[in-house]
Structure 1
Amino acid sequence: MGDGFEGEGTDYSVLLTELPLVVAAGAALPALACALLIRLVRRRRRATATATESEFHE
């Protein structure tokens, strides 16, 4: 029971290859979600403001 799973040794190269990608995705995904949410909220506020202004002009 000393050489890892099914006789394979532990491969630490995953730390150099996949860990930076996981960290980058972990930082980028929340930032993209926040940017999308801000964009949707601004678009909705603009549409509401435009509708309100058109009611005043009638």
Structure 2
Amino acid sequence: MHYLMAGWYELMGQIRQLSGMANNVNQIARKANAAGYGEAYLNCIDTMKGLDNIIKRIEDGC
């Protein structure tokens, strides 16, 4: 039981890290878009969607 709880806490920590990464990418995308860097903006949006998909898959497996 203790092993399962330790694994769960580790997983939640990883989800928090991924969420933070997604937020950072979102901030970069907004700044790139505002500065007129459309291609960089689109790349950031694609990366953010990928991170969101990973987070959802992890959460669905919990």
TM class, shorter-length: 0.5 to 0.7
* Structure 2: gaps of 5 or more residues: 38-62
Residue 29 of structure 1, CA deviation = 1.0
Structure number having the greater helix percentage: 2
Equivalent residue, structure 1, for 2:35 = 56
Larger radius of gyration: 1
Segments of 4+ in structure 1 off by > 3 A?
none
Provide the aligned C-alpha RMSD in A. Answer: 1.4
* Structure 1: gaps of 5 or more residues: 1-21
Higher relative contact order, structure no. (Cα contacts within 8 Å, ≥ 6 residues apart): 2
Taking only the aligned residue pairs, the percentage that are identical comes to 5
Matched residues, number: 37
Structure 1-normalised TM-score?
Answer: 0.57
Structure 2-normalised TM-score?
Answer: 0.54
Alignment partner of 1:25 is 2:4: yes
